[in-house]
Amino acid sequence: MKKVYFPQYGGNKTEQNLVQDLVDEQIKLFGADVYYVPRVQIKDKTLGEVIQSEFNQSYMIEMMLVNVEGFGAGNEFVSKFGLRITDEITFVVSRRRWEQSANPAMNLAVDGRPNEGDLIYFPLTEDTYEIKYVEREQPFFQLGKQYFYVLTAELYEQGADKFDTGIEEIDDIERDFSNITTLNLGITTRQQATGTVTVDSSGSISGANVTLAGTGYNTAPSVSITGGGGTGGIVESTIEDGGVVSLSIVNGGTGYNPANPPTISIDAPPEAVQFIKDEHVVIGGMVQQSGSRTWTSSNSVIEVTALGGFDPNYATTTQKKYYYWKFEDSRISYVYTFNGTDVTTVPGHFYYDSTNLKYVINAYTDTTTSGQRAQMFDLDSATIAEVADWNGVDYTLEVMNRTGNFLDGDLIRGVESNAIYTLGTFSTIDNTSTEFDQNQSIEDGADNIIDWGERNPFGEFGNFTGSF
């Protein structure tokens, strides 16, 4: 009689594939599609400490919810930081599906498996969970192989993490849970661009020059030609970073007087330019210093080739301290502090290498990208923030991920939209992203209890003549 053999420690490939097929089928039948969001850590180059985390990728894959009777580990408790909810949830994902589809599509800190610290967005509950533990050996080598991962996760608690996955529901996490500062802005007087034209001996417009670039342009303005005795002339404008940078002659026209050339009028910039969601806003002029430069990067260091006719002099004589560097790689576009010609390796600082004629910029994130359009803009302050929301009716701007302080009267500018407004009133302690924020009411109540105008608000000693 033929014996049926059940191996104790291993199995052949056919048996293993059968079990894997059954696992995959069960997950697809009883599971749900979720978004797996890997974490990218920005670390300090010296100590290796995590400065910031970013989530800029996502991948949809099916997972099965194990604890279908509800959340596990129901640990709702009140701590000194308020109510804490640490509900757990457990997912199962196929190893084969992970290795064939998800793993090759993402850059993971630990390659080949799901990582602790990464996120799972579960559309059914519209919640995001952070993976706390990945079980990789349960059941223990059934038929000599592992077939799935068990992921234990908790509700994600937003800190200062950056989201840019392209999935609106996931990216809204940053907006919904970040500390939001509301800026009340006012219309700023924008400069209208001006220019002149020249006429050749045949009566055609032969040249057009910009005499004032202006500010606040987000589309190329129209150019009108008047006077000069001729007709048919057409001139078009080109803008860059909110100003008119050049005028080009489309049609020179005929009959213009070289001795009394026509005048041109460039349309005024619009008064209400809209901010763009997630763009950086900065303080001050945002004046571009010369043109675009080529650049390369590796190991968090960006090297920008100097412009021979400009940078050697400017970099050694300028008094400006803060600059916004704009690159094709938007991840590294940020405010950097200028260190002159003194060498520095501090993240967020840069210096001019006068020997090799280049700028050396220490970025906050690791990068290996390169490009042709590195642009340098001088600023009045190192303060920078990201646009969370903009109301163009009452001119209220909500910003998040703020670094530095705003002051009343500051000139607020969007680096992509070229929107320019003057800052009015704002509060740095009011977090408008939550209805439970009580910072302002607590401070007002405390001010009513303690008179901070007194030299000693905690007693009478020092508050009257002769007490010291």
Task: Report the pLDDT value the prediction gives residue 438, as an integer from 0 to 100.
Answer: 63
Name the domain boundary from 238, 266, 294: 266
Q: What is the mean pLDDT of the segment spanning 133-152?
A: 83
Task: Report the pLDDT value the prediction gives residue 453, as an integer from 0 to 100.
Answer: 63
| DSSP summary character for residue 312 | H
* Between 344 and 85, residue with greater pLDDT: 344
Task: Report the pLDDT value the prediction gives residue 4, as an integer from 0 to 100.
Answer: 55
pLDDT band, residue 37 (cuts 50/70/90) = very high
Q: What is the mean pLDDT of the segment spanning 61-67?
A: 88
Q: What is the mean pLDDT of the segment spanning 401-423?
A: 87
What is the extent of the structural domain holding 108? 13-177
CB 129 within 8 A of CB 114: no
Tokens of 145: 């192989």
* Between 122 and 331, residue with greater pLDDT: 122
The reply to whether 232 falls in a domain is yes
Task: Report the pLDDT value the prediction gives residue 359, as an integer from 0 to 100.
Answer: 96
DSSP β-ladder status, 334-338 and 349-353: parallel
The reply to whether 205 falls in a domain is yes
Q: What is the mean pLDDT of the segment spanning 175-197?
A: 84
Task: Report the pLDDT value the prediction gives residue 43, as an integer from 0 to 100.
Answer: 63
Same domain, 60 and 136: yes
Which residues, including other chains, have CB under 8 Å from residue 335's CB and lie 6 or more apart? 280, 282, 322, 323, 324, 348, 379, 382, 383, 384, 403
Neighbours of 116 (CB within 10 A): 16
pLDDT band, residue 311 (cuts 50/70/90) = very high
Same domain, 294 and 211: no
**Domains of the chain: total:** 4
Same domain, 22 and 128: yes
Using the predicted structure, report yes or no on whether residue 435 has a pLDDT greater than 80.
no
Same domain, 251 and 328: no
Q: What is the mean pLDDT of the segment spanning 425-434?
A: 66
Same domain, 244 and 294: no
Same domain, 203 and 91: no
Tokens of 187: 């219309």
Task: Report the pLDDT value the prediction gives residue 100, as an integer from 0 to 100.
Answer: 87
From 40-49, 289-298, 317-326, 455-464, the region with the lowest mean pLDDT: 455-464
User: Distances in Å between the alpha carbon of 103 and those of 61, 94, 108, 120?
Assistant: 11, 12, 8, 15
DSSP β-ladder status, 280-283 and 322-326: unpaired
Name the domain boundary from 147, 177, 207: 177
The reply to whether 296 falls in a domain is yes
Same domain, 105 and 236: no
Residue-wise pLDDT tens digits, 209-262 = 999 988 778 788 999 999 988 889 999 998 876 788 899 999 999 999 988 999
Same domain, 22 and 170: yes
Q: What is the mean pLDDT of the segment spanning 263-269?
A: 90
pLDDT band, residue 300 (cuts 50/70/90) = confident
